[in-house]
Amino acid sequence: MTDDEITRLRQIIAKHPPGEFHFPEIYGPDWDRLYIGDKVKRGHAFMNAVRAGKFPGVTDTGAKKGGGRVYQKIENP
Mean pLDDT by 10 residues, the chain (77 residues): 95 95 95 96 96 96 90 84
Q: Which domain holds residue 33?
A: 3-73
Q: Output the pLDDT for position 28.
A: 93
Q: Output the pLDDT for position 77.
A: 57
Instruction: Count the domains in the chain.
Output: 1
Q: Output the pLDDT for position 75.
A: 79
Q: Output the pLDDT for position 33.
A: 96
Cα-to-chain-centroid distance, residue 2? 14
Q: Output the pLDDT for position 40.
A: 95
Q: Output the pLDDT for position 66.
A: 83
CB 59 within 8 A of CB 72: yes
Long-range contacts of 39-47 (CB under 8 A, 24+ apart): 42/1, 43/68, 43/69, 45/1, 46/1, 46/9, 47/23
Strand order in the sheet with 19-21: 19-21, 68-73, 58-65
